[in-house]
Amino acid sequence: MPAMVTLVDEVVFVPVAGILQADALQLLAGVCRLSNQQAMSLAMEDVWAQLLVADFGAGALDMPESVAAMEDCRKHGTHRAAHRAISELRKRFSFTVVVVPGDICDVPRKHFVEAIVCPSVPNCGPYGPCARAVHRMAGPELWKHLQTELLPTIGGSLDVGQAIMAPPFDFQGIRAIVHVVGPTLATPNRRDRLRDAYCSALRALRDAPDESFSHAAIASISTGGNGIAPQEAAPIAMAALRDAVRFGGLEKLYVVAWDEYTRSVFEDAKQTVLRSFSEDPAILNNADDIHALFW
């Protein structure tokens, strides 16, 4: 870098130092300093551009946050500003998304949350361990409200990937329950539908008519009775959660895994996002790849 900075001095200024008059030398020295500054600026821009890709992945240059930061800071090092913007996003994601093991119904007793997200069946009934526990905590008014007030307005049931928000009724410590339908192994395009499910649930929290919810807990969708392996589901979930953090509004989101093994898989997926923030984590291609992990 020093050789690059002094290149103009060595090539231009030194050879003519003994020829030009003092006033001309002063003018030339000023030009050399300006050229050196420009050379340094261009060199540093190239360094920051390389760091942006190295630290956040190949798509970092095209992220809207990078583009906006570069537009705002054209006079002060655009790629450095983009690096700072994505670094702040990554830090926020790391702090906001926390993977915990256990029962989602226990989370409000251990952490401050305003809402929970419950994986559901299309009629939002008490089917499956998580939904049964949530309905038990909320009481019979939840089922009645879903069947008579909420579901009739959308055709009587939820589609795969769709979410709906209900009051908590007798469920203490929260202000809302989001029901979301995840795909099964037999669902066409199940990976897209799983991402839709996470996005719909988080959008319901963010765009609630009366108020938004910045602290929530969400159970790992489709990794129980729906049969999707955590290794397939976790990268999809973390990519969706990263985007939700980017859109703003979330301050803390607890991802609740039923057991320690599932928690570790989701935590690994989170770390993968942190290592390459602009790219979605790789997903295992088929059941044979998943089976190979266990044998």
**What pLDDT digit, counting tens, does each position of 153-200 carry?**
999 999 999 999 999 999 999 999 999 999 999 999 999 999 999 999
What angle do the packed helices 78-96 and 230-247 form, to 10 degrees? 120
Per-residue b or e along 207-216, where b marks 16 or more CB atoms closer than 10 Å to that residue's CB: ebeeeebbbb
Question: Contact at 8 Å (CB) between 255 and 235?
Answer: no
The residue among 146 and 19 whose pLDDT is bigger is 146
Average pLDDT, the chain: 84
Question: Contact at 8 Å (CB) between 201 and 160?
Answer: no
The listed range with the strongest mean pLDDT (58-67, 137-146, 274-283) is 137-146
Question: Contact at 8 Å (CB) between 182 and 144?
Answer: no
Confidence of residue 74 (pLDDT cuts 50, 70, 90): low
Cα 200 from Cα 207, distance rounded (Å) = 10
Q: Which residues contact 288 (CB under 8 A, 6 or more apart)?
A: none
Q: Which residues contact 205 (CB under 8 A, 6 or more apart)?
A: 115, 117, 165, 176, 178, 212, 213, 216, 249, 250
pLDDT (tens digit, 9 = 90+) per residue, 23-53?
Answer: 544 554 554 554 555 544 555 677 778 878 8
What are the tokens at 189?
């395009």
Residue 151 has pLDDT above 70, yes or no: yes
Residue 111 has pLDDT above 80, yes or no: yes
Residue 295 has pLDDT above 80, yes or no: no
3-state DSSP call for residue 148? helix
Domain with CATH 3.40.220.10 in the chain: 95-292
**Residue 10 pLDDT:** 45
The residue among 264 and 54 whose pLDDT is bigger is 264
Sign of the Cα torsion 140, 141, 146, 152 reads: positive
What are the tokens at 67?
């583009």
The residue among 113 and 4 whose pLDDT is bigger is 113
CA dihedral 52, 58, 62, 67 (to 10 degrees): 0
3-state DSSP call for residue 58? coil
**Residue 35 pLDDT:** 52
CATH number of 95-292, picked from 3.40.50.300, 3.40.220.10, 3.40.50.720, 3.30.160.270: 3.40.220.10
Q: Where are the beta strands (DSSP E) in the chain?
A: 97-101, 115-120, 163-166, 176-181, 215-219, 252-257
Average pLDDT over residues 58-71: 83
Cα 259 from Cα 120, distance rounded (Å) = 19
Cα 292 from Cα 86, distance rounded (Å) = 35
